[in-house]
Chains A and B, each alone.
Chain A
Amino acid sequence: MKSFTEHTGVVAPMDRANVDTDLIIPKQFLKSIKRTGFGPNLFDELRYLDKGEPGRDNSTRPINPEFPLNFARYKGASILLARENFGCGSSREHAPWALEEFGIRAVIAPSYADIFYNNCFKNGLLPIVLDEKIVSSLFKSMYDQVGYKITIDLQQQSVIANGEKFAFEIDEFRKHCLLNGFDDISLTLQEAEKIKIYEQQRRTEKPWLFGAVKA
């Protein structure tokens, strides 16, 4: 996994509440069996004026001139500013895959849906929670200034914007994995003995939980 330590980047808006993962990456792209290739279809229904299909050449499609991510001023944005309950709905990890491939390294919002929030960390994407008032003020600064940039320091757990520092919370374990780019499967497998002991004990105590699935 890509590590995340410090990042400075252009901020782009996704200025609405309850952005669901269907909107982030529509279902027709979920037919892929790969982990890559989703970036060009991020926010597909908002970004283009026609309906996207997997395998289509996106460079020939009509662009929606009203969708902010298509504006020249947000070109190369790597930080997405969003509203409450970002990433609700489906558990599709294709959503963080698409964001990451598009070039987004961090999202800043007042709140996220649980599964999406969790999925971000598995992909080197940092979802930051800041108070609604602060998020609103960031939106304002972003709209006011072309090329508006923010710095994120994960070690310090702070967002540096407008010459101010805003602290954010993050789980120790997640922070540790992200800073080091750790794959959590190898970390868990270091505890394989514990898992085996637990399993053994359970097999005796509650054998019905181990009912094998049979053909």
Chain B
Amino acid sequence: MSARTLYDKLWDDHVVAQRDDGSSLLYIDRHIVHEVTSPQAFEGLRLAGRKPWRADSVIATPDHNVPTTAKERASGVEGIEDPISKIQVKTLDDNCDELGIVEFKINDPRQGIVHVVGPETGGCLPGMTIVCGDSHTSTNGALGALSFGIGTSEVEHVLATQCIIAKKMKNMLVKVDGTLGEGVTAKDVVLAIIGEIGTAGGTGYAIEFGGEVFRAMSMEGRLTVCNMAIEAGARAGMVAVDDITIEYVNGRSFAPKGEQWHKAVDNWRKLQSDADAVFDRIVEIDGSSIKPQVSWGTSPEMVLPIDGFVPDPNTEKDQVKAGGIRRALDYMGLAAGQAITDIKVDRVFIGSCTNSRIEDIRAAAQIVKGRKKAANVKEAIVVPGSGAVKKQAEEEGLHKIFIAADLEWREPGCSMCLAMNADKLGDGEHCASTSNRNFEGRQGYGGRTHLVSPAMAAAAAIAGHFVDVREF
């Protein structure tokens, strides 16, 4: 057989049937479900009189709508104040109960953001095909899996058939060599990549992240990078399996055990692109040149290093682009030429499926330790990605560090990443956010999002404006 990429291998391994028109029926090993994109799928299933093909392949948990204050969480679903959110969370509970799907309900210690829960429970494993009605499903590709987001009709399709109809994407390799500087994190790397290739740069591709930087990166960092593959337009991002992957998976509750484990590991070791595999596109970036990043506009590609200056639309020749810059400056309330470090911050959000794992929480805690939130920052919230992350952080005493610095320590969920619950930005407020999307209105009507790493967000909370964490 000719040389294959990691994506080729994962794909070939899951083809049930190949159609003449080039589409394939692809088998799905793991299906993850949350409350927002599933109700219509369950309803469709019911209307057609169908049952899930393999209920035990599904993991469900509510995350988008759940409140994050301890008070509102105390009485579970019934305690959710927003009546519409409550119905949506309840609907997930009812659907899962009825169909025998295991759900980590609102106050289950394993509840959390779908993309944090999947890997940390061992529900998502190397070599799997994983889908979820959520674009950031690309996250799980960090395990050496083929993982991508789907729409609600496809959620129904996977529930009913355990398969998806798909066409193979092209292969892209994003190779980052060199060594990252002090204070430069996985988030900065992926923002720099998006800044380079653009939000549509990966459209039609599955991206493999390769090179020295990813080999040296922790699994949590790799999860952050693959999480944002979709922000570069790629439905799937992935990293080859190595010792770091295997060590991460070992011992997780749904991971194989005993003899099965050894067999699985032997198999997983092959989950790498062949040395002579051919990619349709290769992008090379020098890792040592990457600086901490801050997004200034309303698309993740509108990003700059911390020592940068907001661009001037008048120097952009492409008219559609210049219009985009003008609209973004206007929405963000920024002036062309303004220094990034001059942007004041009203709120800080540390959380989301991009940056709410234990390492992220540790990085933020390390910055704020012994310091106080700036007076002009109205609120700074730290929202762990799951019950497990919360527990671990509390065991390490990290929550106390935040509280002492006047940051708030919350209950797990998506929170201000998309503001479907009560955590929102006010009109015109600037937010240093560790989430993944700075679209207009994403974090609240009129809200202005700046995407940064956890350390950079923590530093902004202390300084009251963006600062270079390397000099902090």
A208, B263: Cβ atoms closer than 8 Å: yes
The interface residues of chain B lying within 8 Å CB-to-CB of A209 are: 29, 125, 127-128
Contact with B along A99-122 (1 / 0, CB 8 A): 000000000000111110011001
**Interface check B355, CB cutoff 8 A:** no
B102, A215: Cβ atoms closer than 8 Å: yes
Contact with B along A191-209 (1 / 0, CB 8 A): 1101100110010001111
**With A31-B84, A211-B256 in contact, is A26–B441 under 8 Å at CB?**
yes
**Interface check A66, CB cutoff 8 A:** no
**Interface check A51, CB cutoff 8 A:** yes
B321, A31: Cβ atoms closer than 8 Å: no
Q: CA–CA, A89 to B230, complex, Å?
A: 7
A16, B165: Cβ atoms closer than 8 Å: no
Q: CA–CA, A157 to B85, complex, Å?
A: 43
Q: Which of A27, A51, A96, A184 has the most CB of B within 10 A?
A: A27
Contact with B along A65-101 (1 / 0, CB 8 A): 0000000000000000001110011111100100000
The interface residues of chain B lying within 8 Å CB-to-CB of A18 are: 199-200, 299, 324
A23, B439: Cβ atoms closer than 8 Å: yes
The interface residues of chain A lying within 8 Å CB-to-CB of B161 are: 185, 188-189, 192, 195
Q: CA–CA, A199 to B223, complex, Å?
A: 28
Q: Write the chain A residue with the least CB distance to B253.
A: A214
**With A185-B157, A191-B16, A202-B27 in contact, is A115–B21 under 8 Å at CB?**
no
B200, A33: Cβ atoms closer than 8 Å: no
The interface residues of chain A lying within 8 Å CB-to-CB of B133 are: 91, 93
Within 8 Å by CB of A85, from B25, B233, B420, lies B233
Contact with A along B417-440 (1 / 0, CB 8 A): 011100000000000000001011
Minimum Cβ distance to chain B for residue A111 (Å): 6
The interface residues of chain A lying within 8 Å CB-to-CB of B127 are: 206, 209
B420, A213: Cβ atoms closer than 8 Å: no
The interface residues of chain A lying within 8 Å CB-to-CB of B233 are: 85, 88, 113-114
The interface residues of chain A lying within 8 Å CB-to-CB of B122 are: 211
**With A191-B17, A195-B161, A198-B16 in contact, is A33–B439 under 8 Å at CB?**
no
**With A20-B439, A93-B151, A93-B153 in contact, is A54–B84 under 8 Å at CB?**
yes
Q: Write the chain B residue with the least CB distance to A175.
A: B21
Q: Write the chain A residue with the least CB distance to B110.
A: A215
B102, A111: Cβ atoms closer than 8 Å: no
Q: CA–CA, A108 to B343, complex, Å?
A: 38
Size class of the contact patch on chain B:
35 or more
Q: Which of A32, A88, A184, A215 has the most CB of B within 10 A?
A: A88
The interface residues of chain A lying within 8 Å CB-to-CB of B169 are: 114
Q: Write the chain A residue with the least CB distance to B60.
A: A213
A199, B27: Cβ atoms closer than 8 Å: yes
**Interface check A140, CB cutoff 8 A:** no
The interface residues of chain B lying within 8 Å CB-to-CB of A119 are: 151-154
**Interface check B37, CB cutoff 8 A:** yes
User: Restricting to A141-184, which residues have a CB under 8 Å from any CB of B?
Assistant: 171-173, 184
Q: Write the chain B residue with the least CB distance to A50.
A: B445
Minimum Cβ distance to chain B for residue A173 (Å): 5
**With A90-B135, A93-B153 in contact, is A194–B203 under 8 Å at CB?**
no
Q: CA–CA, A60 to B163, complex, Å?
A: 45
The interface residues of chain A lying within 8 Å CB-to-CB of B102 are: 213-215
The interface residues of chain A lying within 8 Å CB-to-CB of B22 are: 171-172
Within 8 Å by CB of A31, from B58, B88, B134, B440, lies B88
B323, A212: Cβ atoms closer than 8 Å: no
The interface residues of chain A lying within 8 Å CB-to-CB of B246 are: none
User: Restricting to B258-307, which residues have a CB under 8 Å from any CB of A?
Assistant: 260-261, 263-264, 267, 299
Q: Write the chain B residue with the least CB distance to A186.
A: B48
Minimum Cβ distance to chain A for residue B43 (Å): 7
The interface residues of chain A lying within 8 Å CB-to-CB of B261 are: 208
The interface residues of chain B lying within 8 Å CB-to-CB of A188 are: 25, 157, 160-161, 163, 165
Contact with A along B12-40 (1 / 0, CB 8 A): 00001101111101010100000011011
Q: Which of A17, A22, A115 has the most CB of B within 10 A?
A: A115
A114, B203: Cβ atoms closer than 8 Å: yes
Minimum Cβ distance to chain A for residue B39 (Å): 4
**Interface check B327, CB cutoff 8 A:** yes
Q: CA–CA, A27 to B65, complex, Å?
A: 10
Minimum Cβ distance to chain A for residue B69 (Å): 19
**Interface check B204, CB cutoff 8 A:** yes
**Interface check A35, CB cutoff 8 A:** yes
**Interface check B149, CB cutoff 8 A:** yes
The interface residues of chain B lying within 8 Å CB-to-CB of A118 are: 150-151, 154
B36, A17: Cβ atoms closer than 8 Å: no
Q: CA–CA, A96 to B154, complex, Å?
A: 14
**Interface check B56, CB cutoff 8 A:** yes
Q: Write the chain B residue with the least CB distance to A85.
A: B200
Q: Write the chain A residue with the least CB distance to B161.
A: A188
Q: CA–CA, A112 to B267, complex, Å?
A: 36
Within 8 Å by CB of B439, from A35, A89, A122, A210, lies A89
User: Restricting to B220-266, which residues have a CB under 8 Å from any CB of A?
Assistant: 233, 235, 254-256, 260-261, 263-264
With A123-B153, A215-B102 given, name 16 new contacts (CB 8 A): A23-B440, A31-B84, A31-B87, A35-B43, A51-B445, A92-B151, A93-B153, A115-B150, A184-B165, A188-B165, A195-B25, A195-B53, A202-B27, A209-B125, A213-B57, A214-B56
In order of increasing CB-CB distance, the 8 nearest A-B pairs are: A122-B153, A172-B21, A33-B39, A212-B56, A119-B151, A208-B256, A93-B151, A85-B200
Listed by A's residue number, 28 A-B pairs whose Cβ atoms lie within 8 Å are: A16-B324, A22-B439, A26-B441, A30-B64, A31-B36, A51-B445, A54-B84, A83-B320, A85-B203, A90-B135, A93-B37, A93-B153, A112-B203, A113-B200, A115-B151, A122-B154, A171-B21, A171-B22, A172-B22, A173-B19, A173-B23, A188-B160, A189-B160, A195-B16, A195-B53, A207-B260, A208-B256, A213-B102
